[in-house]
Every structure is written in structure tokens, then in C-alpha cells.
Amino acid sequence: MGDVINNLPESIRNLTEGKPFETNDFGKSGSLVRVYDDYVLKIEKECPKIAQMVDVMRWLEGKLPVPKILATEVKDGYRYLLMSKVQGRMACDEYYMNRPEELTTLLAEALRMLWSIDISNCPKTFDLSAELEEAKYRVEHNLVDLDDMEPETFGEGGFKNPQELLQWLYDHQPVPEPVFSHGDFCLPNVFFENGKVSGFIDLGDAGIADRWYDIALGYRSLKHNADGTYGKTYEGVNPDELFAKLGIEPDWEKIRYYILLDELF
């Protein structure tokens, strides 16, 4: 990755040269992230999904508090994306995890903000058929991480293997309720400040999708950030409060479907 980071496009270099930063090395996403005081630079291999994300982020300017694209270029097969830095604290910050009433209220507000967007000209739509085809590829090529699963997904009372789960997903496709969706509505991707939603990040899967897609991933994220899955337990966090704050009854069939779909990615 040295060549990539040392070969910054001129438009990016002009805005960042000499500024202090912290680096997040390549992880599962295959991206390199530099965090500056006011900017975030993300570098990853260019693909249609990344190009669509850039289109969606530009489309969202003025509609939602998302990072503003300051400069972006494709060079030697890599997308260099320099964005403004979202202010505030992640929803999974201790401050909010220790204040479950405020946390669930703000998460519900974040979902309502997403759903309030007029989707008539949105440049991207979640394609469940394409998602299932990608899941099929991952299953057939043994790319599914069986160590990163909900405990009830496989084994007694669950599915025998990823192949059986994949077939179930094909056979039980839900009828969508289309809204604007974040696509990865997990607590680290939502920021709060001064009692308000201050930003959304990691918008690679954002676009038109079933409203229950975000609810499902948000519910799971809220549950696991509180129950010790990530190392610390927080008392008093009840994920079911999210439905009360939204004023809706949970559709457990859809919630289960989208969580199970995400298991294959």
C-alpha cells in the first residue's frame, strides 16, 4: 500500500499535505483511511459500488448530514475520496450507551431522517436479487465467515449450513416498503451531538431499500453493543425500545430475514 499512499492525486495532496493525521490500516473493507482534524481520506479499489456511493453522497448534500466530498479521483485503479469529517460522537460511545433513553430516541430520529428523503431521483436502488446472487457466490466460494455469526443461525434449531440458509433466503424474499436506506445502519455509523443527529458515515450501501433493512441492522447493533458482544455490557439498554420510539410494531419476519441475509456477507 505504500505506492498507493505515496502517490496521492494532486487535488488530494494540495488539501492534505503537511496536516497531521491518524491512519486506520486495511481491514475487512479493503480500504485505507486517514483521519485528519477536519477531513477523512478513504482509499480503496475502484469498483461500480464505490462509484455509486460517490453519486449517492453527492445527491445527499443538503438532504442529510453526511460527509461533503471535497475531492475525489480514480488513479491506478484506486478511488481516492477526501471528505469532510462528521462531528459528534458515535452512537455506541459510552456517553450514549449509558443513557439508553437518549440513545434510542436519537436512533429513532436518525431513521426518520433517512425515511423523510424523497427517493424519486435517488441514483441507487438496493437490488435483493443481485444481493442474493452475490451471497450465492460467497457461499459457493467458501467466503462466508462462520466464526462471525449469530449463535442461533447454524446448529441445533438453526440452519445446517450456509447453503441451506441461502436457499431459505431465496424462498422467503419479503415484499419491500421502499424508503431511503443507510444500508449499514449500525451504531458506529451514526453520530450525535448536542442532542441531535449530527451525521451518517460509511454510505457504501445507501440507496432505496426496504425500511426494515435498516431497522433490522440497527436493532441487532443496539443489542450487541449492549450485551457484551463487543467486550462491555451496558445495563438498561432495551433494543425493543427502538420500536416504541418509532411508534411501530416490530415485523419480526422481516427483521430476521435481513439479519440472516447479512450473515452471508
In 10 A of CB 181, how many CB atoms? 29
Domains of the chain, first to last: 2-84 (3.30.200.20), 89-263 (3.90.1200.10)
Q: Classify residue 17 as exposed, middle or buried by CB count within 10 Å of its CB (0-12, 13-18, 19+).
A: exposed
Q: What is the pTM of this model?
A: 0.93
**Is the pLDDT score of 260 beyond 60?**
yes
Three-state DSSP state, 192:
strand
184 is catalytic: yes
pLDDT score, position 31: 85
Kindly name the residue from 76, 118, 184, 210 that is annotated as catalytic. 184
pLDDT in tens, 100-122: 999 999 999 999 999 999 999 99
pLDDT score, position 4: 78
Residues constituting the chain: 265
Q: What share of the chain is helix, strand, coil (3-state, %, to 5)?
A: 40, 20, 40
Would residue 60 be called left, alpha or beta, if left means φ above 0 and alpha means ψ between -120 and 50 degrees? alpha
Integer Cα distance of 141 and 190 in angstroms: 33
pLDDT band at 2 (very low <50, low <70, confident <90, very high): low
Crossing angle between the packed helical segments 252-263 and 211-226, to the nearest 10 degrees: 70
41: β partners = 34, 82
pLDDT score, position 26: 46
